[in-house]
Amino acid sequence: MSTLELPRPNQGIWPGLSTPPRSPLRARIAESLFRNAVRNLPVRVELPGGRSWGAGGPDAPVMRLHRPDAFFHRLGKDAKIGFGEAYMVGDWTTTALADLLTAFAAKLTTLIPPRLQTLRRWVERRHPESDSNDVRNSRQNIHRHYDLSNDLFTVFLDETMTYSSAWFDGHDPRGALVEGQLRKIDGVLDYAGVRSGSRVLEIGTGWGALAIRAAQRGASVTSLTLSAEQKALAEQRARDAGVSERVDVHLRDYREETGRYDAVVSVEMIEAVGAEYWGEYFAMVDRSLVPGGRFGLQAITMPHDRMLASAASYTWIHKYIFPGGLIPSVRSIEESVREHTGMRIEASRGFGHDYAETLRQWRETFLARWDEVKALGFDETFRRMWEFYLAYSEAGFRVDYLGVRQFGMVK
């Protein structure tokens, strides 16, 4: 499914998902491993006929296996993809998706016995060639997620249209998402030293919030995106904010940029670069900066050992949400900067639990306003897919399997 098209409306269960793969031996193995994995987890797994597994008490999140045969066949075919697909088609449901996934995420490295983890490289799927992040494939990878529909993202994002972690900095996050997003943007701009008169390059436009904020400081911004939908809305938002003369948005790969700037900024775009291109990415930033120029970077991160262990794995997130993506570690960022640039990292700060809260608010808004999403032509399979994606990500940040960090660098 490496050439997965945008979700089709009103088709119920998407083609290819309606019939689970059949492999009785692998399904039996998957059932045994799953039952062993949940035995000590604080969850309850309920099966038809009244059986239940898990160590969870009466208040624990409940996972209901409606079609256990289909579930274990999907899990046996490919656990990292089949678990999420089974939720998409309703093989299982839950009373509290984020809480359930958090329980699994907290024990992620020990769910499979160590003696079996050595077999991963022979049984796990590898990334398809089409997911590599060369110039041609990067455009398609971005298109598959960010060109879904501007109206879709408008439904669940806040008014800044910022699709990255807010930074609450100890403030009460309830009802404060806009303030947290602006605080995050200002943090990146401050790290990059953006002020009146600065020539700024932004790698990854989003829907224009950072470019607009920088322009409001008096900077001139060149912003790069591979999403035609994002470009159009970012330009409209810059016009509405009265700063269009200071913001130029280009449909351009970062590798094609040749300008020179006082500051470069990039928020959660490096995750789409791919490990084989990290050196080229940081070298391009270095090349774009004048001497003394500064780089403000925000990146999702994961522990270095987990990054190395999972780098080659093809997961549900890759198949359905972010094709070609790879989350870096702090160490890999530091090494890339040291080996490929004349920059040095002067400051950094992490706020991963703020991302968990950001995702929680997005997910609750998405579900509360589902009728608006449905009216755009998205079906129930998409709803379950998007709910799983947001809850799955939230769980990762809750247990520190994932983090988010801002870096301030100077050339």
Q: Please, which residues bridge with residue 169 across strands? A: none
For residue 385, the tally of other CB atoms under 10 A from its CB is: 23
According to the model, what pLDDT value does residue 20 have? Answer: 82
- As a whole number, the mean pLDDT across the chain is 90
Which run of H or of E encompasses 100?
helix 97-106
The rounded distance, in Å, linking the Cα atoms of 404 and 351 is 6
Rounded mean pLDDT, 52-56:
95
Task: Decide: residue 120, CB within 10 A, 0-12 exposed, 13-18 middle, 19+ buried.
Answer: middle
Place of tokens 């016009």: 239
Long-range contacts (CB closer than 8 Å, 24 or more residues apart) made by 120-127: 120/313, 121/312, 124/78, 124/80, 124/312, 124/313, 124/314, 125/78, 125/80, 125/81, 125/313, 125/314, 126/312, 126/313, 126/314, 127/312, 127/314, 127/318, 127/324
* Amino acid (one-letter) located at 276: E
The rounded distance, in Å, linking the Cα atoms of 339 and 344 is 11
According to the model, what pLDDT value does residue 115 have? Answer: 54
Query: In the chain, what is the straight-line distance between the N-terminal and C-terminal CA atoms, in Å?
Result: 42
Q: Torsions phi, psi of 43, nearest 5?
A: -140, 165
According to the model, what pLDDT value does residue 3 have? Answer: 37
Contact assessment for residue 265 and residue 201, using Cβ atoms and an 8 Å cutoff: yes
What DSSP character marks residue 275?
A: G
Q: What is the pLDDT of residues 290-334, one digit of tens each?
A: 999 999 999 999 999 999 988 888 899 999 998 888 999 999 999
pTM, rounded to two decimals: 0.91
Instruction: Tell whether the model's pLDDT for residue 181 goes beyond 80.
Output: yes
Instruction: Output b/e per residue, 139-171; b: 16+ Cβ within 10 A.
Output: eebbbbbbebbbebbebbbbebbbbbbbbbeee
Domains by residue range for the chain, with CATH: 24-123 (no CATH), 131-410 (3.40.50.150)
Q: What is the pLDDT of residues 385-408, one digit of tens each?
A: 999 999 999 999 999 999 999 999
**Secondary structure (3-state) at 369:** coil
Rounded mean pLDDT, 113-122:
52
